[in-house]
Amino acid sequence: MFLSHRSTQTEYFDLPGRTEGEIAASFRDLNRVNSLFRFSHPFESALPGWLGRKKCERLKILDVGAGTGLLGEILTQWALKQGWHWHFTNLDNNPLALKIGNQPDTVVGSALRLPFADNSFDLVVASQMTHHLTDEQVVTHWREAWRVTRDAVFICDLHRNAGLYALLWFTLRLLRANPSVLADGLISVRRGFQLGEWRELAAQAGIPGAKVWRYHGTRIVLQARKQKP
């Protein structure tokens, strides 16, 4: 039945051989949609209460599958307004995405084999990256995120539901998004996740005490800490 299981359809985003122009056009549309849907808001609303304001004063953060690094740019500015210093390392397996974003600290690499020592970051985040992976790869991605954080992981992606599918269909048409971005947006929801699936994958990844929750009906969030607050 529609949306009862994750789709395995490949997104245009993940096709090899795309030109820099095509990739830049896709990220332009994605970043417009991200800004409209305030994709940084789950992080802004949840992190201070969860980690504690003291801890938030200085954070070394890894964004896995950062794309152009827009999330890090927005959250760095937002943290500065709170008087906090957040440093982002943006990792992506697409060097062109990182080049387009032109952020200061970027690393080309795979979410499945992070090129960092154990316990290198205070916080590891991922936004709308996890749905690009198979379930088996998600387990590896989360094991890796858990390995390189010394404290917390906060993973955010799309919740697979008909309401979000309809909302994206309507919004992307209204914005006259590039046809490949429209197709990818809808495939992304079909590749998205439901709560029970993430709880099961977190258990397989060996992340104890993971909390999985739904954000405003559109996103799914996994958060877990190594250190007790």
Write down the H helix ranges in the chain. Answer: 20-36, 41-51, 53-56, 70-81, 95-101, 135-148, 162-174, 179-190, 195-204
- 45 vs 25: CA distance, rounded Å: 30
Using the rule CB under 6 A, which residue among 51, 56, 100, 129 binds ligand SAM? 129
Which region among 46-54, 80-88, 108-116, 142-150 touches ligand SAM (by CB under 6 A)? 108-116
Using the rule CB under 6 A, which residue among 71, 182, 201, 222 binds ligand SAM? 71
> Site for ligand SAM (CB under 6 A): how many residues?
19
Instruction: Using the minimum distance from each CB to ligand SAM, give the nearer residue, 179 or 209.
Output: 179
Q: Which of residues 154-213 bind ligand SAM (CB under 6 A)?
A: none
Category of 105 on φ-ψ map: left (φ > 0), alpha (ψ -120 to 50) or beta: beta
Those residues whose C-beta lies under 8 Å from the C-beta of residue 108, and which sit 6 or more positions away, are 91, 92, 93, 94, 95, 98
Nearest-Å Rg of the Cα atoms of the chain is 17
Task: Supply the minimum distance, in Å, between the C-beta of residue 68 and ligand SAM.
Answer: 7
Task: Supply the minimum distance, in Å, between the C-beta of residue 97 and ligand SAM.
Answer: 4
Report the SS3 class of residue 211.
Answer: strand
Using the rule CB under 6 A, which residue among 89, 94, 103, 149 binds ligand SAM? 94
Instruction: Using the minimum distance from each CB to ligand SAM, give the nearer residue, 115 or 208.
Output: 115
Asked if 161 and 95 touch (Cβ cutoff 8 Å), the reply is no
Residue ranges that bind ligand SAM, judged by CB under 6 A: 13, 30, 34, 39, 65-67, 71, 92-94, 97, 110-112, 127-129, 132
